[in-house]
């Protein structure tokens, strides 16, 4: 598979599984008082950049989550994100992100199985750098080109490696959804 096809698989996987969110999602970031938006839960300058690519989105850029909530802007923002223009902007942004994910993953030594690259790429919104480091640190001890092995690693070790053990159960569920999508997509 070419890089563009791998990126397409990642985009479709994130969209179809909803592992990051849905089109109209507006949540409070776990990292602070700012919104986390849409299908890939963009935050901060990335969220603002997304909003600037949606007609009418600039009025929501640069605002805290609390401010959006207090002014009654959460529902209108959600509708904007879920609109056709909002979905198109999110798909473009996610496609650009997925290309970066693929390029980063191809830097992992000996990592070449397309289904495994798509699987790992679907984890990259959590942190592309941490996913690449997680894989690089395991490339000599595990067969990263075996989907069953890769799935087991993410399901059992990724939360600890990423320093977020409080999300272990959620990450285990994410691992299952991700594997199910990849198997279906590649069949």
Q: What is the pLDDT of residue 46?
A: 95
Q: What is the pLDDT of residue 31?
A: 86
**CA-to-CA distance for 7 and 94, rounded, in angstroms?**
9
Q: Which residue has the tokens 């067969």?
A: 143
**CA-to-CA distance for 32 and 136, rounded, in angstroms?**
30
**CA-to-CA distance for 70 and 149, rounded, in angstroms?**
47
List of the chain residues with pLDDT < 50: none
Q: What is the pLDDT of residue 180?
A: 98
Q: What is the pLDDT of residue 30?
A: 87
Q: What is the pLDDT of residue 154?
A: 98
Q: What is the pLDDT of residue 1?
A: 74
């Amino acid at each position: 598979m070419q890089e563009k096809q791998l990126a397409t698989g990642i985009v479709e996987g994130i969209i179809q599984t909803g592992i990051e969110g849905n089109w109209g999602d507006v949540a409070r970031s776990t990292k602070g008082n700012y919104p986390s938006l849409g299908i890939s839960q963009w935050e901060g300058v990335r969220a603002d950049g997304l909003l600037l690519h949606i007609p009418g989105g600039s009025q929501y850029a640069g605002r805290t989550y609390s401010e959006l909530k207090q002014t009654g802007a959460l529902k209108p923002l959600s509708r904007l994100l879920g609109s056709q223009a909002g979905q198109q902007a999110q798909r473009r942004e996610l496609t650009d992100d997925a290309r970066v994910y693929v390029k980063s993953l191809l830097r992992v030594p000996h990592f070449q199985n397309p289904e495994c690259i798509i699987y790992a790429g679907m984890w990259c919104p959590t942190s592309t750098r941490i996913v690449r480091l997680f894989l690089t640190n395991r490339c000599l001890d595990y067969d990263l080109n075996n989907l069953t092995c890769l799935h087991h690693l993410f399901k059992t070790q990724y939360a600890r490696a990423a320093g977020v053990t409080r999300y272990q159960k959620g990450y285990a569920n994410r691992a299952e959804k991700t594997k199910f999508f990849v198997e279906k997509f590649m069949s």
